[in-house]
Amino acid sequence: MFLKGIKRKFSEPGEEPVSSGEQAPATSPAASRTLSSSYSLQRQSLLDMSLIKLQLCHMLVEPNLCRSVLIANTVRQIQEEMTQDGTWQMMTQALAAAQCPADRLVATEVLCRQTDAATQAGQSPKPMSSASYLEADEDHLSADSRTGEKVFGTFEIKHPVPPPDPGLEELFSDVDPSYYDLDTVLTGTPKMGPYDLLESGGLQSCLMDLNELDHIIEILVKS
């Protein structure tokens, strides 16, 4: 977690993190190996951060669209890269294999759907394209919003809280804590993997809200 006022040594990209073995207990050895590189960790934390930002955008009725779009594009880019090098699948598999309460499995179902089907068919999992993830996400979301349930704000502790992420710390070692506005969010909430956030849709849902409103307004303005 990010602690205020603590100076950390900045590590060069590509340098091995100090304690590469520190992983969430639930992740599989294969996932650990991939995630152990500093780059993967940085990428992962960038993804986490971006998803949190999207989540905060989602809280606003009318978020700064330019900013939301740029963050969403960053997420897409990271996801594409992770899909290409196999980290994404490993992450979702690790998640599926982990001992999770039943309700958590429901939540991650969206992410695992395709992979599960492929595994059942006895094939190696196909890389999930960015588009398919978005579609799946959208399906899940629209179903959710139809029931009138607000997905947002249902963060839970999925796994035991993992030890501080060394990659994450290194990544933000030069951050001035004085303008660290995400701090409250991060410290106020248990450590979140990307899985929690993906289900709630982030930008997709807030854009959809805007879209609907836009449509309503267009009707009203024209009539």
DSSP characters for 155-209?
----SSPPPP-HHHHHHTTT--GGG-TTHHHHHHS----HHHHHHT-THHHHHHH
Return the residue of 16, 18, 64, 163 that touches other proteins, per CB under 8 A. 64
Residue 97 CB, nearest distance to other proteins (Å)? 28
Return the residue of 3, 105, 106, 175 that touches other proteins, per CB under 8 A. 175
Considering the complex, state which of residue 142 and residue 154 has its C-beta at the smaller distance from other proteins.
142
Tell me the C-alpha distance between 95 and 93, whole Å: 5
Considering the complex, state which of residue 138 and residue 144 has its C-beta at the smaller distance from other proteins.
138
Residues 113-152 that bind other proteins (CB under 8 A): 134, 138
Q: Tell whether residue 106 is a contact of other proteins (CB under 8 A).
A: no
Residue 178 CB, nearest distance to other proteins (Å)? 8
Segment lying near other proteins (by CB under 8 A), choices 17-25, 94-102, 151-159, 174-182:
174-182
Q: Tell whether residue 77 is a contact of other proteins (CB under 8 A).
A: yes
Q: Tell whether residue 59 is a contact of other proteins (CB under 8 A).
A: no
Return the residue of 1, 26, 69, 151 that touches other proteins, per CB under 8 A. 69
How far is residue 34 from each of residues 10, 65, 105, 174, measured CA to CA in Å?
Answer: 22, 34, 23, 25
Six-digit token pair at 101?
């309460």
How far is residue 148 from each of residues 11, 59, 144, 161, 217, measured CA to CA in Å?
Answer: 46, 16, 7, 30, 22
Widest CA span of the chain, in angstroms? 64
Residues 11-50 that bind other proteins (CB under 8 A): 42-43, 46, 49
